[in-house]
Structure 1
């Protein structure tokens, strides 16, 4: 089982959109997937057509164990089987103050999870206890950014955080790479930032880039996978997420 954290230390770059695109690609391929929604906003939970019934991720972090994980795991409305969600909740914000003595709670909870090939952890866009908890549970981390000045600066902070966790509570964590979202073909400013990212991080910059297309937001707003959305733009996005998923699945599994 590969546990992949999707993170960004700057809000608004489309971190959850990338998580959902990867989930769509995994569903299309028949990769059994669990999405862990650690973001207190719960956007991934909503877009995946889930309403928590008996439990949520906050309850899992309160008391990590088989019972709490089972209570918080809900099938996505995207498909009859193959894609489940560890439901998000605004109550998870209470765990953002966890220190490094408690950041292994999600990792322990996921030790009860065995029915999946892939776990996608959608981390909050901040450097608090929730993000550290999420990354500590992961084998690999994908940093999401967009080609803008402040987003590029946040990549450096995210990479330093991953390195710090590797030297502390998350010794098995490795960076998968940097996914660049919302790329526009004719933007000179974006072209400059893309070159800057490639000069700074070289092979860690993942390809292909995710183009800025309205179809992605349209599919998510309708609680549908982008692979099922009509049109050429959705097909282009689907191919992009297929290739990013390929890169993730080549990483060593537990």
Structure 2
């Protein structure tokens, strides 16, 4: 996204966000812990018009408003954040959607991502730790060199069953990714999933793959082998 020279103020952007607010969408989002009612397609269209504006992104983040923070993450320059700034943002981010976008749209593209991954993995706050596991799952898929996969499976086996929801979900994703991407570790990943039964009964829409790790791993591997 190109850098913009727009002079649109925070108050003007907040007014635009308020105009996009849909009470019915807010009601749906609030069931998932996300306190905003802005259609994400319309939010992305607004971000496309604003283009990259790091200063505006920081100001929007400081409002504390969930929709404004989501917009901020779409128009920010990820490499411009210092690690302590991203760490503070993660601890301030309340809404699950904001936390997810912060990891995917800012932290993963930041040169300090690995430093933050290691810091967050060991954090006592389960939400912050879940971000560390999300970054770890990303590395399992894209850059596994240097990761201690047996060690990660040890931690998952010992801690995932009792972990709070968001941390449990992130650890389960990492478990599935290890099983999918690394055949040598697949039998153990499947065994851990079967024994712990995490997300075994998670409601899954027709046509979607269950997040229960043994089903997830088996289905994705089957698709890969059919290609």
TM-score, with length taken from structure 1: 0.32
Q: Between Structure 1 and Structure 2, which shows a larger proportion of helix residues?
A: 2
Task: Say which structure, 1 or 2, has more relative contact order (CA 8 Å, 6+ apart).
Answer: 1
TM-score, with length taken from structure 2: 0.34
